[in-house]
Amino acid sequence: MGKLYEQLIRDYRIKEGLKACINCGTCTAICPAAEFYKYNPKNIVNIVQSQDDAQIEELLKGEQIWYCGECMSCVTRCPRRNAPGLVVMALRSLSIDLGYFVESEKGRQMLPLTRRMQSNILNYGYCVYPRTFLYKDHPEYGLTGKWVIENMEDVYERLGANLDGKGPGILRKIPDESLAELKAIFDETGATRRMEIIEEASKLKAKEMGIPYDEYERKAFEDTEKDHLNH
Identify residues 155-174 at the interface with another protein (CB under 8 A): 155-161, 166-172, 174
Q: How far apart are CA 10 and CA 96, in angstroms?
A: 15
The yes or no reply on residue 69 touching another protein (CB under 8 A) is yes
With CB under 8 A as the contact rule, the residue among 3, 6, 10, 15 that binds another protein is: 15
Task: Select 62 or 145, whichever has its Cβ closest to another protein.
Answer: 145
CA nearest 205: which of 7, 61, 67, 94?
61
The yes or no reply on residue 6 touching another protein (CB under 8 A) is no
Task: Select 87 or 191, whichever has its Cβ closest to another protein.
Answer: 191
Shortest distance, position 124 Cβ to another protein, whole Å:
9
First CA to last CA distance, the chain: 35
Q: How far apart are CA 36 and CA 228, in angstroms?
A: 8
The yes or no reply on residue 33 touching another protein (CB under 8 A) is yes
The yes or no reply on residue 93 touching another protein (CB under 8 A) is yes
With CB under 8 A as the contact rule, the residue among 3, 6, 10, 35 that binds another protein is: 35
Q: How far apart are CA 38 and CA 203, in angstroms?
A: 28
Burial class (CB in 10 A: 0-12, 13-18, 19+), 79: exposed
Shortest distance, position 207 Cβ to another protein, whole Å:
22
With CB under 8 A as the contact rule, the residue among 2, 52, 55, 145 that binds another protein is: 145
Residues in the chain: 231
Q: How far apart are CA 80 and CA 8, in angstroms?
A: 20
Q: How many residues bind another protein (CB under 8 A)?
A: 115
The yes or no reply on residue 102 touching another protein (CB under 8 A) is no
With CB under 8 A as the contact rule, the residue among 29, 55, 58, 203 that binds another protein is: 29
The yes or no reply on residue 128 touching another protein (CB under 8 A) is yes
Residues 6+ apart with CB under 8 A from 103: 61, 62
